[in-house]
Chains A and B, each alone.
Chain A
């Protein structure tokens, strides 16, 4: 199972700033191992962020995103004490959801 994400969410005026660190290998499928075999692609394909059930960000990712990705974004709304939930799913069908309270 994948390691937990680190999520920080802070309210600033009428918007909320979210910073997420994800633990993922993000293999491009271009690398070869010591035996010369291609290391199969393994990457996060979709990322969704919700706040109180409202989707505030939805993204499709590819192999160009770095290992252990860092995602920062802002969305309108969100108040202190509310929860931001982040979900990612990768091309192997693995998925992980974590949440943080807006401070």
Chain B
């Protein structure tokens, strides 16, 4: 009798152990996927090809260009003419000379038009690169953002136009539309969501917005290209089947403003590398 009892409890214990082992391996499987992607990124971080874009961008920033043959030396990104260091961590912001809130790309286009003599359409050409078709804007963005690495995000929200852009961006973020009745919030307002293996950040939390915003631009290994935050927004719009987000438009700046401001306080850490 005691022996039987012992056997029974042993079997129960064994059964429990099996169940526990299965439960653990399932949990372990989920954790290790995320861990393995992180490990993959860390392995590639050394020798990140984004450096190639940074180098090209630095050259573009410093050399005379355009019909007027002037460099970006007089271009004010908010920290004074030609100052690049830490500029991206405080963008988008209101610029009195243009009487408009501008993000980095919009400001670069503005400098190209007002100082270097490009026409507006020429300056806005090729915001995103592809194979055999390199984008100067992306290279410039890579260089300027690299000069804010380690700088704490500090996007201002003092000017009425900055507040207006932020409010509009927030509204756009939760606005549902398109053929799929999607909003940004459909995917990015809940913890633990993912598309296939890719975890989606919850951009309505401070931690989520910080982690997402401070790691763009990034070299996308799967595409062999450096991608900017602007590209990320445009691709999200494409995935939602929204109309194309117009480059340097108020809508584009407002959405950037909303997400950049939400990332305030975190140290900027890009250009990064992503799968």
Q: Which chain A residues have a beta carbon within 8 Å of chain B's beta carbons?
A: 3-4, 6, 19, 21, 23, 25, 27, 39, 66-68, 70, 72
Kindly identify which residue among B49, B56, B131, B132 contacts A70, using a CB–CB cutoff of 8 Å: B49
Kindly identify which residue among A3, A19, A23 contacts B47, using a CB–CB cutoff of 8 Å: A19
Residues of A within 8 A of B64 (CB): none
Tally of B interface residues using CB under 8 Å:
10
Residues of B within 8 A of A39 (CB): 131
A70 touches B52 (CB 8 A): no
B46 touches A19 (CB 8 A): yes
Q: Which chain B residues have a beta carbon within 8 Å of chain A's beta carbons?
A: 46-47, 49, 51-52, 55-56, 131-132, 224
Chain A CB count within 10 A is highest, among B46, B51, B52, B55, for: B52
Residue of B nearest to A68 (CB): B49
Mostly, the B contact residues are loop
Q: Please report the number of residue pairs spanning A and B whose Cβ atoms sit closer than 8 angstroms.
A: 27
A6 touches B224 (CB 8 A): no
A25 touches B55 (CB 8 A): no
Residues of B within 8 A of A27 (CB): 131
B52 touches A21 (CB 8 A): yes
Residues of A within 8 A of B51 (CB): 6, 21
Kindly identify which residue among A3, A19, A67 contacts B56, using a CB–CB cutoff of 8 Å: A3
Residue of A nearest to B219 (CB): A68
Known: A25-B132, A67-B224. A3 touches B46 (CB 8 A): no
Smallest CB separation, A60 vs chain B (Å): 21
A23 touches B52 (CB 8 A): yes
A-B contact pairs, 27 of them (CB 8 A): A3-B52, A3-B55, A3-B56, A4-B55, A6-B51, A6-B52, A6-B55, A19-B46, A19-B47, A21-B47, A21-B49, A21-B51, A21-B52, A23-B49, A23-B52, A25-B131, A25-B132, A27-B131, A39-B131, A66-B224, A67-B224, A68-B49, A68-B52, A68-B224, A70-B47, A70-B49, A72-B47
